[in-house]
Structure 1
């Protein structure tokens, strides 16, 4: 679930050409392209696809490269046979160095052919881009991990650290079988690692690459918010609409929603967001950049906060947010409503519990007649990983190598990834830099999803070198 938002970095200061000139692909890149094509053309949506089918194909590639029964582990549950996953292990030579986990989700958001310009499950290269559902979120990275494992085994190269690869299903659908959740609860031994590399990090261009865009920033994903849904509900005895009374469930709900709309959760910073605002702000010459630097140094500066709140992305990064997303009420045109409710979708800042937010909503509504109940449990509360220099240092050096003049900025996602399940069992999850996207989001979760060929190939080279730096 790769989350895209405007980083607001000044392009005049940080412009740099996207790495890798337009040239014929190397043989190793062509092999990677073929693997990515196979992944994209294997439908893994929750409605018409199968993660298990793609995991079967990945297993075949790994076995052909030389992986054995002892190194390949498949998993699924009877009630979700199409949502299976795979774990592969490349043993390291060290008995003391802890493993590294490479994580990826195989499932994609549903895509309807009638809405797309091209068939979403046909891999198409056009105008310097790869098109197809999942090419950006996140099969390009999945293919990088699989390709890396295959090449290391074929070359007979043995890392110092054991490398583990987990490709799972269920990240894109909260009601589906979630493979990472299952692994943390049932086969923790398979994924035990010092840290994990997952989705979330990325670069951004100042405009579409095919319109002359340049990469202006690379991010490393360090932490995320917790998504939680609550239902607020008003109930009433109802009655005939010809004799209305003020005690009306719909009115009570409307009043509650207005209070929620007007409520602002307090500003919060952690190590990641403080580093983000400080570093990204310093790269800007405008008032917003000054406010970013100021808030990192002094979170009590109300003027800086007010300016930052005018940017929806910055506003969300600075606090827990809750917003009404669904509404229902009443049962007949000529009857007073007996029930009215709304879904409140919250994105909770790391370190704040879901129960604390529920209680805050109760206090904000301030109406004992109404109930506030959590309606889902996608996963545990998010735990912010540390800004570990052993993780960030090598990544920053490689960004300087592959994207000269482009800064790497730590970023906390306002969305969600499966890394939250790993954090709950003590495995910090980081989204490394390398790939990059355009400001419009590249159609991720939407129509005509695409990824620049240069993004895929440069990202592949950077991530291969990064994993080698960590593991060898």
Structure 2
């Protein structure tokens, strides 16, 4: 989502009627099913450190078998006992190529002492569901499983196969499920017409009113780098200027004050072009100035200062996220290191960014090495670049716009660039057009994914179910 970047839309949109807000709510049996599946998913720990993705995959496999899916249309497997993925194929008439839906089951770490509720229990209070994964992304896991079950129960027959993959290690770990499936069981996925990834996009709310329906049409490239310096150390009573921590601190300060060059691509340019028609005053002038063939540097700086989201849309960003130094309170440090997390604009590689970090650090005593998804450290990084945006095919966009106009009237559908990263990187690498689309509506100031007391409005969850139930049918025009 791009919360801050769409706030300007709010004052220009009509007030949505109560009828629009209450449109298309699922019936009580559907709500009960959706709630029970969400609770089951939330209450199975799927963190990389101590959890089991396999447990959720097996639980959803049983749900699907009980709901009428044939055993031969369900695959359960993975590289380890804890990282088994689930793939289910909803058979259609075969008139069109299949659609693949990607949903990761793993969640980031959550410590009980940090939360006001147990992160691995679904708690409903004050109109919200609380629990790790309620926003990222067990909500949409449960929604897609429920939608498949509801469609199967009513005997719906799509005009194409619908493939749902519930996978491991999107949030970290060494056994990414999408990557593993594509490399070892490609026949399960085949050659889909396109990929829908509910781990992106969504509906932005301001004070309960929908102001935009975002669709991630491209995303940044994820990379971690280790900055490390060593020193012989010594007794702390004999300090010397050549201190490992000081070297590292100086390097990180240089990084803190560095800004990568600003760039626009087809998606972000279209995004700012849209904003330029509704903004006013200095912001409108600045947006028009960055859209010129020679963008105005001061306008870029002002817009970047207005919103962290705009800053991230315009630049590659690198930020220190972890520190480790020293071995004793009374000794000079022999090692100091930091993890720097980068989100790289499309068209640039991790190795290109590593070389940029070396120039920024400007200290031969500080090494800059690449850290892969499994935590292994390498002297060089991959040369592959982020992928260009896929075409905005009408087969995906037209039904989305039609459904959004009904469920959230007045809120425009806006193609965006995700400032994070998702499993779409694996499908895009194989030429599968991939789009981040979600029907979950969140207040722009209440995005808690990866954070403390992650929560989801109860009403948003059920409307998100109705969205995907209808959107799946619109994409697969069967009977």
| TM-score in same-fold range (> 0.5) | yes
Give secondary structure in 2 for the equivalent of 1:196.
Answer: strand
How do residues 4-15 of structure 1 correspond to structure 2 at under 5 angstroms? 5-10=3-8, 11-14=10-13
> Residues 312-340 of structure 1, C-alpha deviation per residue, up to 9 Å, x if partnerless?
11111111111222334444566554433
Give secondary structure in 2 for the equivalent of 1:137.
Answer: coil
Give secondary structure in 2 for the equivalent of 1:344.
Answer: strand
C-alpha displacement at 1:24, in angstroms? 8.9
How do residues 351-370 of structure 1 correspond to structure 2 at under 5 angstroms? 351-370=347-366
Q: Where does residue 181 of structure 1 map in the other structure?
A: 179
After TM superposition, the structure 1 stretch with the greater mean CA deviation from structure 2, 126-135 or 187-196, is: 126-135
Give secondary structure in 1 for the equivalent of 2:397.
Answer: helix
TM-score by length of 1: 0.89
How do residues 42-441 of structure 1 correspond to structure 2 at under 5 angstroms? 42-77=44-79, 80-94=80-94, 97-172=96-171, 174-192=172-190, 193-198=192-197, 199-207=199-207, 213-238=208-233, 246-298=241-293, 300-310=295-305, 311-331=307-327, 337-377=333-373, 381-390=385-394, 391-441=396-446
Give secondary structure in 2 for the equivalent of 1:102.
Answer: strand
Give secondary structure in 2 for the equivalent of 1:83.
Answer: coil
Cα distance, 1:428–1:170 mapped onto 2, change above 3 Å: same
After TM superposition, the structure 1 stretch with the greater mean CA deviation from structure 2, 346-355 or 362-371, is: 362-371
Q: Where does residue 21 of structure 1 map in the other structure?
A: 22
Contact in 2 for aligned 1:9/1:281 (Cα 8 Å): no
> Residues 320-377 of structure 1, C-alpha deviation per residue, up to 9 Å, x if partnerless?
1112223344445665544333222211111110000111112223333432111224
Q: Where does residue 41 of structure 2 map in the other structure?
A: 39
After TM superposition, the structure 1 stretch with the greater mean CA deviation from structure 2, 53-62 or 245-254, is: 245-254
1:328 and 1:423 mapped to 2: Cα distance?
35
TM-score by length of 2: 0.87
Contact in 2 for aligned 1:87/1:167 (Cα 8 Å): yes
Cα distance, 1:127–1:250 mapped onto 2, change above 3 Å: closer
Structure 1: gaps spanning 5 or more residues: 208-212
2:62 and 2:151 mapped to 1: Cα distance?
16
State how many pairs are aligned.
Answer: 461
Contact in 2 for aligned 1:381/1:420 (Cα 8 Å): no
Q: Cα RMSD over matched residues? A: 2.7
1:443 aligns with 2:448: yes
Contact in 2 for aligned 1:269/1:299 (Cα 8 Å): no
